[in-house]
Each structure stands twice: as C-alpha cells, then as structure tokens.
Chains A and B, each alone.
Chain A
C-alpha cells in the first residue's frame, strides 16, 4: 500500500516542487544563518519573515533514534505494519530533523547513529517524497 500523499500549500509548494525534481531544499534565514524545516512563514529563531530563502542542502544525515509502528492509526499504512519510523538529523544542522521509513532497512534492524542520505520515493501521481537510506 502506498504512503499517504502530501498536499502542497502556498508555503510548501517550492519545497515539494524541488522534491519532485529530486532536490532537497530548505528554508534558510539570511539574517541568522539558520536552516529551517518544515517551512514556516517566519524564521523560528530570529522571527524574520523577509530573510527566508530556499537553499539546496546536501542531503546527508544520521539516524538519531527510531520506533517501529506496529499498531498505527493510518488506514493507508496498515498493510505496511510493522515498519520503521526513524528520526534523521541533518548533518549541516543537527537541529533540523526529518522522519524516514528507512527504505531498504528491515523493521527492527535500524543502525542507530548510522549515516544516511536523501533519496526520493514516488507516493502518488507526479508526487515524490524525501526519504533517507542508510549509506554503505
């Protein structure tokens, strides 16, 4: 069963457009030099609404921790259970984190602390999402 499909809004459209081009771009505050994800209307650190730009990141990270969803509530994901849900920190700024199902890593066999890299997965017609795959 495919994953739930994200629906872009005005704020997130540049992000998802980039993901659909297999690029990971995050908001970057030119005032305080902080990356930001998920996108917000203003910088979460300095509050500036006019200093946010989109910046492509390298897509390298590490696995901070993980859980295995055995009895979740999402109808569309029921057939996938059990599946990993990992927390990924971005190497360029570890305060930025992402969720990942770690494609290619069997449930319960998650190497916490391992390096990962961004990958992209089709979840609906012309809609990709960003995922993370263990390197090596």
Chain B
C-alpha cells in the first residue's frame, strides 16, 4: 500500500506541456450499481459496499478482464458522498454496531483494501489510501497506469446516502464553529458548493445581464438527458420531467438557488477500469484513450471567491487541460462539466469556450438548442441533476459517446473527443478522453 501523498501523480501546475502519456492510457470498462435514494440500513445487498462490489464486477465484465488481471485499485475512502462530505456528513444514525463490531466497512464505508479482499483480487500491487474524489481519482489512475505503477486499475467511487435530512447534524448541529468554520458559520454559511457558487452566480447575472431563472433550460435539459440514461436514478424511479413552470415555481434553498438547482443525494457506486492503450486494444470494448488529466487546488484569498476569482481559476484550469491534451476548444466534441449545483456549470462552459461560448454567453447558449439531438449537445450525460448525485455520469456518458453506445443520448454531431469533470471552480480535476490515441 502507498498513500497518495507519496506518489507525485498530479498535473496541477501551469506550463506542464503535453502529457507524457497522452494516448497511451485507456478506459476499457465501466460499471454502475443500481442508484437508490438511500440505503435502508437493513438490505445487505444494497449497501454502498455491495454496490461497489457489483460496480467493479460490471466494469471488469465490460472490459473482459478477470480479477487476477487487476493489479491496481483506487477507491476514495468514501461514506456520504465521498471525502467532500466532510465531518458534517456524519449525520446518519451511527454506529450501527456496538464495539467491537464498530466497523462500517462495507455498510456505509468502502476503501480499496476492503474491496480488493472482497473481490478476491490476488495481484493488486497499487492500492493507495487517502485518495481524493473521483474528479482526481481518474487522473491518478491515468498517471499510475502511464507510469507503470500498475497495468489494469479499477477506480471506484462509492456515494452513500442514509436516512435523514442532507447534512443536518454533525458540525451543522453544533452551537460552536471551529477552524475554518469560524469565518463562515456564524453568519449562516455551512459550506458547500452551493455557497461557493451562488454568490459569483449572482454577480454573473449582474455583470452580464440575465436572471437566475434563465438556468431553467439547462436544468430541464439535464433532467431530459437523465431520463435517457438507463442506469440513472430519474430513469428508474418514475421522476417526471420538469417544465419551466415547475422550475420557476419550485421552492428556494438559498434564494435564488432553487431545489431543482441541486442534485439529489443517492446511494450508489460506479467503477471504471483503466489500462494501457496497448492492452486495451485486446479487450472487449473499443478503447477510450486518455489524452490528458489535470487538477487544481486554488487558494481563496478571502472569505468568499467572487466572480472575478472564479473566472480566473476556471481560465487556468482550461488552459492547463488544453495544453496537456494538445487540443483547443474547437477540438472538443463532448463536454460534461460538473453540475452538482446548476449555478456553477456556466463558469466551466465559458472558461473552456466549448462551442465558442465566451464569458457572459452561457445563459443565451442555454436558451438555444442544447438537446443531444441538436447542434450543441451540452452536458449530454444529464449530469448529477439528471441522474442523481453519483458524480460519475459525466465520465460514463463521455465513454459511451466515444464508443457510440449512448443510445437515445447519442449525439448527432461528431463524437471523437470528450472532456469530463467532477470539480468545483477551486478544487478538482478534468480528464480529456478520445476515440483515437492521437
């Protein structure tokens, strides 16, 4: 075992040039568990552990790889929505067992070591601990395979959800605010991407014109794409497509942020299988090549990142990714940015200038034809707003679009490159995928 800190795998600086393993690493398989709203605390075949095992088995089957061939496993030590859930995510009734039966591994917690044991992977030599969220894990896997640390690597993102209101409890139920929270919580900011992005979003509307509810076409289209995603939550739980009227009359959470601007926490797991491009050519599926991965962890200067800061950060992220991939905005066919809250996606869209969208253009772009059948199939995955808070839809859709297996979501425009991310403007990572190795 190694910790991620011991391995310098990140591409998180400007000016790194084209990635040294460009086109030499590929995604060969993926697997999704069912996506439930919550774990009921009873059904042992529906725990986030059981679902992670299932997702891995599906990913190996999709690729045509047997357990003995897997020599790498990367899994964030996840409980409620991964490490980004933070201490506030410990809201669920726990522990489930009294000591000494106090381990929740396999119930609400999953890590690489536990999974390797459950899956009987006898040849794992790369299983880092303390790994970050999926936005960075896919980059870590790409680099590890490219560097030869492993040859066939499972990447697992478990995303659990238990009974109770979302992130009520834990630190959020306390009377005192410690550490970084002393600067935010006394005024009501309990932290999260909603707070990070809603202020700059308001400034965005003020600066460029437009109003919050101009996000409606984007949110509605995300749900539409989600309903065309066979494994997604919405497609399997009778979720009706919302209308503009539904959107503009929905309740506020952080006014102007509405309930439909927020993804729905779910209990699910997703797995991907990364390997060398050379090996991928002999596997079941057409390889989806990795052209670059990049990360960022920008430091905030004051209490809140404002619009100017957010635009600067996302510009840097786009520059890093394009430089490492050796591509530019016009080369990107599929664009699946993070959408956990609808108010952040425009920052990414404009920074990466996908389909020529520049600063201040996003709301007008959303009002155009962004359907998968149309000329600008933005976020063809449906993202988290359309599929539940799995944080993997962006990657799976990108793979499917490049394979040509996205079904009703298959775009009608060229689909040879795809850019996907789970990232906030400040922290996370991007990955560029391609149908061709160069």
A129 contacts across to B, CB distance below 8 A: 186-187
Q: Is the CB of B186 within 8 A of A73?
A: no
Q: Is the CB of A67 within 8 A of B177?
A: no
B255 contacts across to A, CB distance below 8 A: 67-70, 82, 108
A33 in contact (CB, < 8 A)? no
Q: What's the nearest-Cβ distance from chain B to residue A110, in Å? A: 11
A83 contacts across to B, CB distance below 8 A: 188
B172 in contact (CB, < 8 A)? yes
B168 in contact (CB, < 8 A)? yes
Q: Is the CB of B182 within 8 A of A37?
A: no
A30 in contact (CB, < 8 A)? no
Q: What's the nearest-Cβ distance from chain B to residue A55, in Å? A: 15
B187 contacts across to A, CB distance below 8 A: 3, 85, 99-101, 129
Provide the A53-85 mask, 1 if CB < 8 A to any CB of B, else 0.
000000000001111111111111100101101
A20 in contact (CB, < 8 A)? no
Q: What's the nearest-Cβ distance from chain A to residue B143, in Å? A: 28
B186 contacts across to A, CB distance below 8 A: 3-6, 123, 129
Provide the B172-208 mask, 1 if CB < 8 A to any CB of A, else 0.
1111111110111111111000000011001100100
Selected contact of B199 from candidates A6, A38, A65, A70, CB within 8 Å: A65
B166 contacts across to A, CB distance below 8 A: 73
Q: What's the nearest-Cβ distance from chain A to residue B386, in Å? A: 22
B299 in contact (CB, < 8 A)? yes
Q: What's the nearest-Cβ distance from chain B to residue A92, in Å? A: 13
Selected contact of A95 from candidates B174, B180, B253, B301, CB within 8 Å: B301
Q: Is the CB of A73 within 8 A of B178?
A: no
Most buried by A among B174, B182, B186, B198: B186
Q: How far is the CA of A113 from the CA of B198 in the complex (A)?
A: 17
Q: How far is the CA of A109 from the CA of B241 in the complex (A)?
A: 34
B206 contacts across to A, CB distance below 8 A: 65, 112
> How many of chain B's residues have a CB under 8 angstroms from any CB in A?
41
Q: How far is the CA of A85 from the CA of B202 in the complex (A)?
A: 13
A85 contacts across to B, CB distance below 8 A: 187-189, 254
Q: How far is the CA of A8 from the CA of B168 in the complex (A)?
A: 24
Q: Is the CB of A7 within 8 A of B178?
A: yes
B306 contacts across to A, CB distance below 8 A: 64, 87, 97
B130 contacts across to A, CB distance below 8 A: none
Closest to A129 in B: B186
A9 contacts across to B, CB distance below 8 A: 178-179, 182
A98 in contact (CB, < 8 A)? yes
Which residues A4-19 have CB closer than 8 A to chain B? Answer: 4-9, 12
Most buried by A among B167, B253, B256: B253
Q: Is the CB of A37 within 8 A of B302?
A: yes
Closest to A3 in B: B186
A4 contacts across to B, CB distance below 8 A: 174-177, 185-186
Q: How far is the CA of A9 from the CA of B182 in the complex (A)?
A: 10
A37 contacts across to B, CB distance below 8 A: 302-303
Q: How far is the CA of A8 from the CA of B183 in the complex (A)?
A: 10
Q: Is the CB of A97 within 8 A of B183?
A: no
Closest to A131 in B: B187
Q: How far is the CA of A97 from the CA of B184 in the complex (A)?
A: 11
Q: How far is the CA of A45 from the CA of B253 in the complex (A)?
A: 35
Closest to B184 in A: A99
**B residues adjacent to A (C-beta < 8 A):** 88, 165-168, 172-180, 182-190, 198-199, 202-203, 206, 251-257, 299, 301-304, 306
The 6 closest A-B pairs by CB, nearest first: A99-B187, A6-B182, A68-B255, A38-B183, A65-B202, A75-B173
13 pairs across A/B with beta carbons < 8 Å?
Answer: A4-B185, A9-B179, A36-B301, A38-B180, A64-B199, A65-B199, A71-B252, A71-B254, A74-B172, A74-B188, A95-B302, A99-B304, A101-B188
